[in-house]
A = this chain, B = another copy of it.
Amino acid sequence: MSDALQIRKAPRQRRAVHTVDALLEAAAQVLEADGLEGFNTNAVARRAGASIGTLYQYFPSKDALTLALLLREDQAFHEAASATLTLPTCREALAAFIVVCARQQLNRPQLALLLDQQEDRPDFRAALHGKFRFRALLIAILSKAGAPAHLQDDQRKDLAAADLLALMRGMTDSAGGRGERDADDLAHRIGAAAFGYLDAAPRQM
């Protein structure tokens, strides 16, 4: 279980690097085109123009392939999202973060949706810092100057980060599914909900 999700061997020759790339891109395309039910290793290999044996030389299992795709897709996304941390205030950073997320999602919406669902699988959760890295990012943003007073508490901050992430994910997935293409408009609407969430008074219990 531990190494069953790791890449099997690092490609050394240039040809091999190209093959791995082709396999990952093929995986993305199959997932987009045929959904989870059409996502099988034979189809991925075929679309990559590789043999099934080649696929398994680099990925020890179907799950390892999926995970590698997840990581690849999160890569650039996470870097862009991290850059928002340089902004001084909570509101600025959050707004920028939302824009980054919306753009990412509308880029390849079908793919993003399916990968979002895969990220929730417990075995992936374990092998992945991804989701949690995004949450950590959001927590850092909520710790910046100008954050609502009631978010001083770490526990509340944690919950707020989870809520905001979920809200964003829900809205972006839905927008992607409906074929929206204007990321900035989507970001604006998400921002409305997110800032509404932050500015609301906490519930009195």
CA distance A48 to B175 in the complex (A): 38
Closest to A35 in B: B121
User: Considering the chains assembled together, what is the distance between the CA atoms of A152 and B93 in angstroms?
Assistant: 32
Are the CB atoms of B170 and A166 closer together than 8 Å?
Answer: yes
Q: How many residues of A contact B (CB 8 A)?
A: 34
Instruction: Choose among B120, B163, B175, B188 the residue that contacts A189 (Cβ–Cβ < 8 A).
Output: B163
A205 contacts across to B, CB distance below 8 A: 185
Within A162-205, the residues touching B (CB, 8 Å) are 162-163, 165-171, 173-175, 177-178, 185, 188-189, 191-197, 199-200, 203, 205
Determine if B178 and A174 form an interchain contact, defined as CB atoms under 8 angstroms apart. no
Instruction: Please give, as numbers and ranges, the residues of chain B lying within 8 Å of A170 by CB-CB distance.
Output: 166-171, 173
Q: How far is the CA of A37 from the CA of B151 in the complex (A)?
A: 39
Provide the residues of chain B in CB contact with A171, threshold 8 Å. 163, 166-167, 170
**Does any Cβ of B come within 8 Å of A117's Cβ?**
yes
Residue of A162, A166, A199 contacting most chain B CB atoms (<10 Å): A166
Which B residues are in CB contact (< 8 Å) with A193?
163, 167, 193-194, 196-197
Q: How far is the CB of A187 from chain B (nearest CB, A)?
A: 9
Please state if B177 and A203 are interface contacts (CB–CB under 8 Å). no
- A166-B171, A167-B170, A171-B170 known; A192 and B197 CB under 8 Å? yes
- Considering the chains assembled together, what is the distance between the CA atoms of A193 and B163 in angstroms? 9
Identify 16 new A-B residue pairs, CB closer than 8 A, beyond the known A166-B173, A185-B205: A163-B171, A163-B174, A163-B189, A166-B170, A166-B171, A166-B174, A167-B170, A169-B170, A169-B174, A170-B171, A185-B203, A193-B193, A193-B194, A193-B197, A196-B197, A196-B199
Q: List 11 A-B contacts (CB under 8 A).
A: A113-B120, A117-B117, A163-B171, A166-B174, A167-B170, A168-B170, A192-B197, A192-B199, A193-B197, A196-B196, A196-B197
